Amino acid sequence: MDQQFAIETRALSKHFGDVRANDALSLIIPKGTVHGIVGENGAGKSTLLKMLFGFYRPDGGEIRVDGTTIQFHNPMDAMAKGIGMVHQHFMLVEPFTILENIILGAEGGADLNAAKAKAREELRELEEKFGFDLPFDEPVERLSVGVRQRAEILKALYRGADTLILDEPTAVLTPQETEQLFGLVRQLKAQGKTVLFVTHKLNEIMAITDDVTVMRAGKVVAVRKTNETSAAELAELMVGAKVSREAARQETGERKVRLSLAGVHAGGDRGRAALKNIMLEVCDGEVLGVAGVAGNGQTELLEVITGLRPVTSGVVRYDGVVIADEKTVTDPISLRRMGVAHVAEDRLKTGVVESMSARENAILGYQREPEFSSLGLLKLKEIARRAAGYFESQDVRPRNPSLPIVAFSGGNQQKLVIAREIARAPQLMVIGQPTRGVDIGAVTKIHDQITELRNAGKAILVISADLDELLAISDRIAVMCEGEIVGTLNVEEADEQTLGLMMAGEKRKAG
């Protein structure tokens, strides 16, 4: 009977100090199926995946692969047993070609040309079997996100994966690329492969999976046949209560231009132009969403607005004052004091300091303000009080601000960062990927907070790869492609298909 299961866990447990990330977790993944896993941030999904792929060793319980109990010491052990994983952040060397990336670490000898020739032959067979069509000799840095993801999947198959773990696989894909991924997943299933599909997007779970496991607080709380459940039921099982939207957009009266960019150009990190003739306005009492496939200038746009990247030409104005041009860069501290708050697109890179506690990160960027320091000394009691308030208001888990920030899931880190920036009651809120990696309950809360700021007359610019999110919270949506704004639409005119085409470069008139 065990042989029908690709992976089975029995009473699997993993603790980090007093935190039970996985608590006697039992999971069954039938062979040849697409199995979804959903759960709130901190539910234990990431810990489970890392144990299944050999990054972590369990404290108790067992993992079975094809009915045999296995102990993984590292990812190589997992791959040797037919488990492959495509991470949310791709593990590719950008200057290398697809072919070079696929054989990297598995060359099989010193003769690289012979290894490439042998791999190319095997890869052609895999392409034909699973329906890939990849430019093997193109450097990864020149490829779209969707092509990179398919290269990661092919790499796992080349290395013998029978069970493929996809972690938040559609986070940075266009709608068209998501459909291509779904087609590939169906083809993998048709060829007998097993896919573990982990996502926060319940509509995708309903569209692509056969079964779904719901996790909460480190445990499995439900297993459902996908065709016998609904997104509403799964959401309720995830959070333990009904999930509903409360904040609605309201009319905010006459709109004053709070932020404007006129003819802005900026260079990228590799010497190429990252922004080209950007023309944008964000008004008080509105949310301007910015859509685009990752790597098309959104990051550089955020950096220009928040004083982290100089412009080569053009002007950025905040409240009518020039904050950036060819000769001017206003630093982030000054911008904060002017009423500009920034939620970083990559929280681990620029939003938090990994070596610090959550309590210290709760005031990061504001530590010099009088409420938190005096004569160069931090007011530790006030910092602790403020951090505890953020934990309570945002439901950050576990409720221990003294833990290192890296002890928290990505979604809980994001909740803390959002709370820190919203607490300043900014006039302009600049937000990158507000709910990436955040569960449905927290998504609703963050969206409500953004809407409430908008209704209070604040100006908000949101960059997101999630089109559902932009359509839910924006008044207007601007679309970027290759460093340019290809069009701006009122949200009433926009839909996923239209935005997806614009993200691929199709131009539209401004709305």
How confident is residue 243, by pLDDT bands cut at 50, 70 and 90? Answer: low
User: Which residues are paired to 196 by β-bridges?
Assistant: 35, 165
pLDDT score, position 86: 92
What is the band of 3 on the pLDDT scale with cuts at 50, 70, 90?
A: very low
Average the pLDDT over 109-129 and give the result.
Answer: 88
pLDDT band with cut points at 50, 70 and 90 for residue 509: low
* Mean pLDDT of the region 449-457: 94
- Over residues 376-383, mean pLDDT: 95
Q: How confident is the model at residue 2 (pLDDT cuts 50, 70, 90)?
A: very low
Counting residues of the chain whose pLDDT is more than 70, the rounded percentage is 97
pLDDT value, residue 315 = 98
**120/220 Cα distance (integer angstroms):** 42
37 phi/psi in degrees, rounded to 5: -130, 125
Ordered alpha helix ranges (H), 245-363: 298-305, 332-338, 358-361
> What is the pLDDT, as a whole number, of residue 107?
78
pLDDT at 182 over 60: yes
For residue 262, how far is the Cα from the chain centroid?
30
- pLDDT band, residue 245 (cuts 50/70/90): low
Residue 293 has pLDDT above 90, yes or no: no
pLDDT band at 272 (very low <50, low <70, confident <90, very high): confident
Mean pLDDT of 130-151: 88
Closest to 3 in 3D by CA, of 32, 26, 37: 32
- Higher per-residue confidence, 90 vs 209: 209
DSSP conformational letter for 142: G
pTM of the model: 0.72
Question: How many angstroms separate the Cα of 52 from the Cα of each of 25, 74, 75, 166, 478?
Answer: 12, 10, 9, 12, 40
- At residue 352, the 3 state secondary structure works out as coil
Q: Is the peptide bond before 398 cis (omega within 30 degrees of 0)?
A: yes
pLDDT at 48: 95
pLDDT of residue 5: 93
Higher pLDDT, 349 or 53: 53
Q: Tokens 């447990």 — which residue? A: 13
Measured CA to CA, the distance from residue 320 to residue 77 in angstroms comes to: 59
Rounded-to-integer distance, Cα 135 and Cα 122, Å? 15
Beta strands 60-65; 68-70: pairing state: antiparallel
What is the pLDDT confidence band of residue 294, given thresholds at 50, 70 and 90?
confident
Q: Which long-range contacts (CB under 8 A, 24 or more apart) does 138-144 make?
A: 138/97, 138/98, 139/94, 139/95, 139/96, 139/97, 140/92, 140/93, 140/94, 140/95, 140/96, 140/97, 140/98, 140/101, 141/94, 141/95, 143/98, 144/177, 144/293
| pLDDT over 50 at 1, yes or no | no
395/356: higher pLDDT: 356
Query: What's the mean pLDDT in 201-212?
Result: 94
Tell which residue, 228, 200, 195, has the closest CA to residue 39: 200
Residue 89 region, left (φ>0) first, then alpha (ψ -120 to 50), else beta?
Answer: beta
Annotate 422-454 with b (16+ C-beta within 10 A) or e (fewer). bbbebbbbbbbbbbbbbbbbbbbbbbebbbebb
CB 367 within 8 A of CB 386: no
Tell me what the mean pLDDT of segment 389-418 comes to. 91
Q: What is the mean pLDDT of residues 245-270?
A: 83
Of 105-119, 313-327, 378-392, the range with the lowest mean pLDDT is 105-119
Average pLDDT of the residues of the chain = 90
Query: For the chain, first and last CA: distance in Å?
Result: 60
Provide the percentage of residues in the chain whose pLDDT is more than 90. Answer: 68
Q: Which DSSP string do the residues of 354-409 spell out, in sequence order?
A: TTSBHHHHTTTT-TTSTTTEETTEE-HHHHHHHHHHHHHHHT-SSS-TTSBGGGS-
Output phi, psi for 8, to 5 deg. Answer: -140, 135
Give me the pLDDT at residue 246, please: 56
Tokens found for residue 189: 């299933």
The CATH code of domain 2-239 reads 3.40.50.300
* Per-residue pLDDT tens over the stretch 29-57: 999 999 999 988 778 898 999 999 999 99
Residue 476 has pLDDT above 90, yes or no: yes
Q: Residue 367 and residue 365: Cα distance in Å, rounded?
A: 6
Least confident of 169-178, 285-294, 446-455: 169-178
